[in-house]
Amino acid sequence: MKSNEIAIPEIQRPFVWSTTQVRDFIDSLYAGYPVGYLIAWRNPNVRLKDGRVSDGKRILIDGQQRVTALMAALLGQRVVTKEYKRVNIVIAFNPLERRFEVSNPAIKKDKQWLADISGVLSPNFRMLQFVRDYCAENPGADQDEIYESVSLLQGIVNNHIGLIELNSDLDIETVTEIFIRINSKGTVLSQADFVMSKIAADETHGGNLLRKCIDYFCHLAVAPDFYEQIQQEDKEFAATTYFGKMGWLQHENDDLYDPSYTDMLRVAFTSEFKRGKLEDLVAFFRGETSKRGSMRRQLSSNRLRCSIKGFSTS
């Protein structure tokens, strides 16, 4: 996970798992249960979430939620939720019962619990010292059992998760369609998610930047201080006219209404096309193979882009 060999493309969604889903996923790994396959695509020129290009990394097409859950729970990294909040997901472990829970104040006070499992994977963690201290604080605990219990927890990072790698010759449209079909299972891909994926895939007409414009606008409406983070961490987008026109949002503190990207897409689509149903917008972005269909999709994308730019800068 720390090797930076896997990257998340623009077509992916925010982290949408609940904390209990993360807990259950870690528990499944600990028990040795199958947790499915990751699907990756090695391509040197795909746009990533942070604005850079993939530079030959494996691009994660399916498995973002699982990989992000691992990085949050085992490495202590913060995640950005669908509400654009940066949060820590802390999972606790009871070595006596070999049970996981989402950490809470009561657990932190209970000496039977390891309040944050990420500490076990720290290079500063000392197993023998931990076992001695744990057994001293929990009379009756068997040192060998506690050692085995925590060793199994450490071994999670070595558990095998299958990887399917897509052919590097596949184009972004095909890979996006694979992503959409896969994600029609599990956490349901909404119509807005479909449109956002299609927009991001259309790099020929600046779709990756348009996708970011929508995401960043909605994020800034909720968290105005995110403006400085964009300036520092996504300099390419910060140099665009999209970002230049969104400066007013860094001073916007009115919480009466904060639009989601579903709202933004619907308003922009209604404004430009006089239609309010997202299924009509989905139809525009459906992958027709004919020249007429391609031209129609390009025209729709251009008109939507103009409408969103006007909406985001007003």
Least confident of 35-39, 155-159, 272-276: 272-276
Q: What is the DSSP letter of 251?
A: G
Amino acid at 309: K
Q: What tens digit of pLDDT does each residue of 104-119 get?
A: 999 999 999 999 999 9
Q: What tens digit of pLDDT does each residue of 85-106 get?
A: 778 999 999 999 999 999 999 9
Q: What tens digit of pLDDT does each residue of 37-49 get?
A: 777 777 655 555 5
The token duo for 255 is 């919480």
pLDDT band at 289 (very low <50, low <70, confident <90, very high): very low
What whole-number percentage of the chain has pLDDT above 90?
A: 24
Give the pLDDT confidence score for residue 150 in this predicted structure.
95
Average pLDDT along the chain: 77
What does DSSP say about strands 6-7 and 162-166: parallel, antiparallel, or unpaired? unpaired
Instruction: Spell out a b/e string for 276-299, using b for 16 or more CB atoms within 10 Å of the CB, else e.
Output: eebeebeebbeeeeeeeeeeebee
CA 20 to the chain's CA centroid: 16
